[in-house]
């Protein structure tokens, strides 16, 4: 048992024994099986597939925009609303005018977009 002292109270903390909790946890040797552990995590937390060709942000719908790194459904909706308000993008840099697209996020997606 571990004890934690907080404001003159003695609180008991139970120690969790990982060895008996999950046999799959014990079977992973993170030093030797780092690659296979990473593969397992990628399968569990599906990573986003990046677009194979550049996406024209003047014609793309929400389903295409969410393929971009750092763009989810909400941000895709904001892009569509902004595009509608300005009629069309004249530069990819205009994406930075949208709330939620920071310089960092823009830098992650700029290689996957085009304005035509």
Q: What is the CATH classification number for the domain harbouring 70?
A: 1.10.150.320
pLDDT for the residue numbered 49 = 83
Q: Distance from first CA to last CA of the chain, Å, rounded?
A: 65
Residue 19 has pLDDT above 70, yes or no: no
Q: Which residue has the tokens 């996957």?
A: 112
Split into its structural domains, the chain has a count of: 2
Please give the pLDDT value at position 99: 95
pTM greater than the 0.85 cutoff: no
Structure confidence at residue 33 as a pLDDT band (50, 70, 90): very low
Distance CA 73, CA 68 (A): 11
Q: What tokens were used for 95? A: 């994406």
In a domain, 68, yes or no: yes
- Tell me the two tokens of residue 5: 């002292």
Under a CB-based contact definition with an 8 Å cutoff, are residues 65 and 76 in contact? yes
Residues 38 and 60 in one domain: no
pLDDT by residue (tens digit) across 47-106?
778 888 999 999 999 999 999 999 999 999 999 999 999 999 999 999 999 999 999 999
Taking the C-alpha atoms of residue 70 and residue 91, their distance in angstroms, rounded to an integer, is: 19
Range of the domain at 30: 2-44
Q: Tell me, yes or no, whether 49 lies in a domain.
A: no
Same domain, 60 and 37: no
Residues 58 and 83 sit within 8 Å (Cβ to Cβ): yes
What is the per-residue pLDDT for 46? 56
Query: Is the same domain home to 40 and 61?
Result: no
**Per-residue confidence (pLDDT) for residue 91, from 0 to 100:** 97
Q: 65 and 26, same structural domain?
A: no
36 and 72 both lie in a single domain:
no
Pair 32, 66 in one domain: no
């Amino acid at each position: 048992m571990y004890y934690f002292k907080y404001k003159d109270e003695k609180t008991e903390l139970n120690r969790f024994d990982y060895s008996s909790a999950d046999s799959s946890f014990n079977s992973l040797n993170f030093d030797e099986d780092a690659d296979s552990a990473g593969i397992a995590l990628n399968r569990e937390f599906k990573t986003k597939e990046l677009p194979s060709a550049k996406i024209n942000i003047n014609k793309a719908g929400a389903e295409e925009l969410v393929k971009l790194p750092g763009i989810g459904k909400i941000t895709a909706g904001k892009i569509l609303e902004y595009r509608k308000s300005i009629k069309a993008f004249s530069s990819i840099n205009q994406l930075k005018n949208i709330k939620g697209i920071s310089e960092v996020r823009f830098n992650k997606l700029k290689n996957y977009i085009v304005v035509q």
